[in-house]
Structures are given as C-alpha cells and as structure tokens.
Amino acid sequence: MSDYCPVLWPEEPTPDHLKNCSECGLDKHGSRMVWGEGNPNAPIMILLDNPGAREDREGNPFVCGTRQTLQNGAHHVGLTMDDLYVTWILKRKPIRAYDKEHVRQICMNHLDQQIMEKQPKLIICLGNVAVQSFFNDKDAEVKALRGTIHQINGYPTAVGYHPLAVRRRPNLWSVFENDWKVAADYYYSKSNT
C-alpha cells in the first residue's frame, strides 16, 4: 500500500429539506444523514454502499479504514480530493437489520438527484451493493464487471472492489490499484480531449 496519509475530507451538508428524511426508515437507527464528502463539484463521483463509521465513541470525527483505503487507492493513481466526490446508496449508516432491497430503492432517489445536479464526468462504483444498485441489476458482481468502462444511465462508470474487502483481504490490493488505474486512465484520456 501507499505511504499516503489519509485525512478528513469535508462533508457536503445534507440539503435542509432532507435532513430529517424518514421515508426509508433508517432514521430510526439513530445514525445521522451524510450527503457526501470531498469536492462537491468534482468531476469524479465515487459511489459506496453507506457512510460507515464517521465518529468515534466520544463523538470525534475520524477517518475509518474504508476511507483510508479509498484515499490510498486514489492517491496511487494521482487523484486528489479536488478530483473526487464520495457519496453512498444509503445516506445513513444502518445499525441493525433492515429491508435492504426496499430501503435501497427508496434511497436511490437521493442518489439520482445528486447525479442530476452534479453531472459527473465519471462514476466509480466500489463494491457489489453500489454496483447492483446503480446498474439496477441484483446479480451484478464487481469481479465480472471490473476492468472496463460501462455506460450506465448515460454516465461512464468504472467498477472496483470495495475498500473494506481490500482491508479484509490484502491480497486484493493490486487488483484494487488496477481498478483505480482503469478509472484514472479513462478520466485523464477524456480530460485531455
């Protein structure tokens, strides 16, 4: 892995009219809504499953392992926070069991809104949940789709392993690096035209 030192990226505030959204029921889990982080005007949108842990037990913000690994992968191919905006299928971290398919369908409305507003030049889906939700295909899998750029809903989309999978299985690091390289090569090739 790289020697890059991960940092807290600024959060984009949740739109006022959605801060207390209760449509999917995850508000009952007690976690706060997190809209996105990084550069809200970035050309590349990173899509993950949920925001994960953001504060320690004392309530202090910290960079969790997933975010550390994501930032290391991006740094490895020369991408910075200015290039990237991170968001999630679910805008709240689930704390207990929930109706995954139903909740994801509801929460995709928020993501659709973000994509329409931001018009990213490239979307990178990390992990099966992000891929299945964004591709609208419950059988889609990273291992079958990675390595190429797909056109999904009119957006060029790269696919990669979830940073948590890479942390749990360090032998995936070189594959993860390659996933980032495919995305970065596409982005750089389009930036220079």
Name the residue ranges covered by the structural domains of the chain. 22-191
Question: CATH classification of 22-191 is 3.40.470.10, yes or no?
Answer: yes
- The alpha carbon of residue 76 and the mean position of all alpha carbons in its chain are separated, in whole angstroms, by 17
For residue 63, count CB atoms less than 10 angstroms from its CB and return exposed for 0-12, middle for 13-18, buried for 19 or more. middle
Residues 17-61 pLDDT 10s:
998 999 999 999 988 899 999 999 999 999 999 998 888 888 888
Q: What is the pLDDT of residue 2?
A: 54
pLDDT tens per residue, range 121-149: 999 999 999 999 999 999 999 999 999 99
CA geometry: angle 43, 36, 32, nearest 5 deg: 175
At 127, give phi and psi (nearest 5°). Answer: 100, 155
Say how far apart CA 185 and CA 148 lie, in whole Å: 11
Closest CA to 125 of 174, 163, 81: 163
Rounded alpha-carbon distances, angstroms, from residue 49 to 36, 73, 75, 77, 118: 12, 17, 21, 23, 19
Predicted pLDDT at 78: 96
Query: Helix, strand, coil proportions of the chain in percent (round to 5)?
Result: 40, 15, 40
Among the listed residues 29, 31, 37, the one whose alpha carbon sits nearest the alpha carbon of residue 12: 37
pTM of the model: 0.95
